[in-house]
């Protein structure tokens, strides 16, 4: 019977994992976080900063396109909302943050 016990002990010692460097175990996780930051978080933050700057610089008379696809000219602008003239005498009130892009002057006449 002691023959079987010694074999079991020998086998469990051979299968036991070797102790490794704890820093090497965290290295893949750190690399994943760095790649995640540079590929996803940083570009999104840059786009948000550019959009915020564009929204703050809106003035009366700017030709814009909203996120809903509506094109028009800003007739009046407030702190949070803007009146956009989409046709002669037709104005709609939108949130300033709903502006997707500012068009060059005279673009609405070409549409």
Structure tokens of 81? 């909302």
- Kindly state the DSSP code that residue 61 receives in the 8-state scheme: T
* Integer Cα distance of 62 and 84 in angstroms: 9
Beta-sheet strand order (sheet of 81-87): 90-95, 81-87, 71-77, 63-66, 99-103
What count of residues does the chain have?
Answer: 111
pLDDT single digits (tens) 15-68: 555 557 888 889 999 999 999 999 999 999 999 999 999 999 999 999 999 999
Domain 59-110: assigned CATH number: 2.30.30.100
Q: Domain ranges in the chain?
A: 22-57, 59-110
With a threshold of 0.75, does the pTM exceed it?
no
């Amino acid at each position: 019977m002691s023959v079987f016990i010694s074999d079991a002990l020998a086998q469990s010692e051979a299968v036991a994992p070797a102790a490794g460097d704890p820093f090497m175990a965290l290295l893949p996780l750190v690399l994943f976080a760095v790649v995640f930051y540079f590929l996803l978080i940083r570009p999104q933050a840059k786009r948000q900063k550019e959009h915020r700057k564009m929204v703050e610089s809106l003035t009366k008379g700017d030709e814009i396109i909203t996120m809903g696809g509506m094109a028009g000219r800003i007739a009046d602008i407030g702190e949070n909302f803007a009146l956009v003239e989409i046709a002669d005498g037709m104005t709609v009130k939108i949130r300033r943050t709903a502006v997707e892009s500012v068009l060059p002057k005279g673009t609405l006449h070409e549409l």
